[in-house]
Structure 1
């Protein structure tokens, strides 16, 4: 059994009327409150919002890492709610890439082995074409001279570049990045963000990134802003100052938190 075949759509991923509720009764937290949003194919989108706004919850539900209480989540033209656990696992493996704040590299594998891990897990399907793709990807992320090193021999920025290359290795429909520069110094963070942007533009990929950093968000083509589990604004051609000003406005408007499930 394989994951559903990708269908090219204008949106790499989207959610419709997305609701996510944690807890019941007096402890209930509505982490997502009827959000409808598309993440365009071939674009770099950042998700921002005050603490507790639901940005990580949105990413996890859009990526199939968590399920919605109601509403729909799609990757390409595939409705995630139509998939059983096995097909959802295959879809995440074959059509979605992930970059996390913690690099999540396997310490016993070399850089080359870490990068090709998604292809190896998928059984090497389309290996010839994929090897050519990975070879080009290695040059894009600047790791040609580090292929035989292990993660412990690399700097944090280099490890995150390996994680980025791994995320794109299987040519996924979309890559979700959760605070990808959170563990990096400013210089390394700028390098990784520039890399994500170049990969979108030069290799026609799609990236959705959760971040709290206005400078990071300004690398995106568009920023979507959440507050209290709702979509409240979108910004194209962002700059750090414009994003910071919008975030300050949202923080001033944010209600007092009633729970900790939203992130």
Structure 2
């Protein structure tokens, strides 16, 4: 009877609570958050500094564990998995893009893209990889090493690597944080194309209203709680919503 939610959401947390520390020093980073990230959609997570947005992403992706509540990838509850099965799930069903590109400097672009699958002994789909290389615009850079690429090109390699294994969902944590505005725009357009042209699912944490405007929907956190959702966001609307947090004295 749980398949309806599983097919609708690529990832979901329910009644998610995350507490760091104990006693007087305890910090409640997530305070009863329930939110789903629909399959085939691009969702941005926003909120003031300290609102819990990165904690939410890390718990939803199985990089951190909840204090209470549940986190699911598709129909699989992460809390029921031991370390080995959780590692396999992250490898086989989830992709990651971080602010730091995390490329291996001695490998070529082509080798960096397929590295996770090579390490796992998995032979990926050549047709999928070829299509992905074209989507990210790296066909003429496949034999270059990271040091020969711009920051924007390196992040495009990281994006291609995240999607190479055809994961159910890709989590991106401030993916444009180290890029200039033009390169950042290229990477955001690329994430959008992966969702719309290749039927992928992306969940992105960002503090930038311009970046959030590339998403299909923005979810807003404040003080560890889900406080709003916005469909078809624009940079101006997102900025206005963020200003409202400051006006109410939310942490900055």
Within 2, Cα distance between the matches of 1:190 and 1:201?
16
Quick check: 1:50–1:254 contact (8 Å CA) kept in 2? no
Cα distance, 1:180 vs. partner? 0.2
Quick check: 1:21–1:69 contact (8 Å CA) kept in 2? yes
1:204 has 2:199 as partner = yes
Partner of 1:46: 44
Aligned in 2, Cα 1:84/1:254: closer, same or farther, shift over 3 Å? farther
Within 1, Cα distance between the matches of 2:189 and 2:251?
36
Cα distance, 1:134 vs. partner? 0.5
> Structure 1, residues 207-238: CA drift from partner, whole Å, max 9, x if none?
00000000000000000000000000000000
Within 2, Cα distance between the matches of 1:8 and 1:256?
34
> Structure 1, residues 237-259: CA drift from partner, whole Å, max 9, x if none?
000000000000012224458xx
Partner of 1:243: 238
Cα distance, 1:8 vs. partner? 6.0
Q: 1:99 aligns with which of 94, 97, 100?
A: 97
> Structure 1, residues 121-152: CA drift from partner, whole Å, max 9, x if none?
22124x4xx11100110000000000000001
Aligned in 2, Cα 1:8/1:172: closer, same or farther, shift over 3 Å? farther
1:167 has 2:165 as partner = no
Cα-Cα RMSD? 1.2
Quick check: 2:50–2:251 contact (8 Å CA) kept in 1? no
For these two proteins, the number of residue pairs brought into alignment is 248
Within 1, Cα distance between the matches of 2:104 and 2:235?
34
TM-score by length of 1: 0.92
Within 1, Cα distance between the matches of 2:50 and 2:199?
32
1:186 has 2:184 as partner = no
Q: 1:121 aligns with which of 97, 119, 122?
A: 119
Secondary structure of the residue that 2:97 maps to in structure 1? strand
TM-score by length of 2: 0.96
Quick check: 2:48–2:251 contact (8 Å CA) kept in 1? no
Partner of 1:10: 8
Secondary structure of the residue that 2:7 maps to in structure 1? coil
**What 5-or-longer segments of structure 2 have no aligned partner?**
none
Aligned in 2, Cα 1:147/1:256: closer, same or farther, shift over 3 Å? closer
The 5 A counterparts of 1:130-145 are 130-145=125-140
Partner of 1:261: none
> Structure 1, residues 56-80: CA drift from partner, whole Å, max 9, x if none?
0000000000000000000011000
Within 2, Cα distance between the matches of 1:183 and 1:131?
30
Partner of 2:84: 86
Quick check: 2:98–2:173 contact (8 Å CA) kept in 1? yes
